[in-house]
């Protein structure tokens, strides 16, 4: 069984992934959930525990449910997880990367289906090596 500290750190990591994927700063998340950015930093590092009421406020700000956050923590710590949550966690890790977010935003802002198709073809060819 993971320690309380390991669970707190996993929850912080999941929140950080969601925050970055949503393009929110720590200040943005803090304002939306009723705390200062320093407190968000402490949550994200696992230095401070998150009360259930604060978890609900954070989840609302991240536009997810508290259950989704907890399920991802369970997967991260290896407690009763499944493959779909593991895949979701990998996607969040990717989306929390600054250059990946810029790429995602750039593609999203393109309004030309032919360009989308060309990008998909290029990515597929790159994957095939």
| CB-based contact 37:30 (threshold 8 Å) | yes
Contacts of 71 (CB under 8 A, 6+ apart): 81, 85
pLDDT tens-digit map of 38-62: 999 999 999 999 999 999 999 999 9
Q: How many residues does the chain have?
A: 129
| CB-based contact 90:12 (threshold 8 Å) | no
pLDDT tens-digit map of 9-36: 999 999 999 999 999 999 999 999 999 9
| DSSP 3-state of 67 | helix
Run of H or E residues at 102:
helix 98-109
pLDDT tens-digit map of 89-114: 677 777 677 777 777 777 777 778 88
Contacts of 104 (CB under 8 A, 6+ apart): 95
């Amino acid at each position: 069984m993971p320690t309380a500290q390991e669970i707190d750190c996993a929850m912080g990591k999941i929140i950080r992934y969601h925050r970055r994927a949503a393009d929110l700063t720590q200040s943005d998340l803090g304002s939306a959930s009723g705390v200062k950015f320093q407190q968000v930093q402490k949550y994200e590092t696992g230095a401070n525990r998150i009360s259930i009421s604060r978890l609900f406020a954070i989840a609302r700000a991240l536009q997810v449910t508290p259950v989704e956050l907890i399920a991802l923590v369970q997967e991260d710590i290896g407690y009763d997880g499944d493959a779909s949550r593991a895949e979701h966690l990998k996607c969040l890790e990717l989306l929390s990367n600054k250059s990946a977010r810029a790429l995602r935003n750039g593609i999203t802002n393109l309004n030309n289906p032919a360009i989308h198709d060309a990008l998909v073809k290029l990515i597929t060819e790159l994957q095939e090596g």
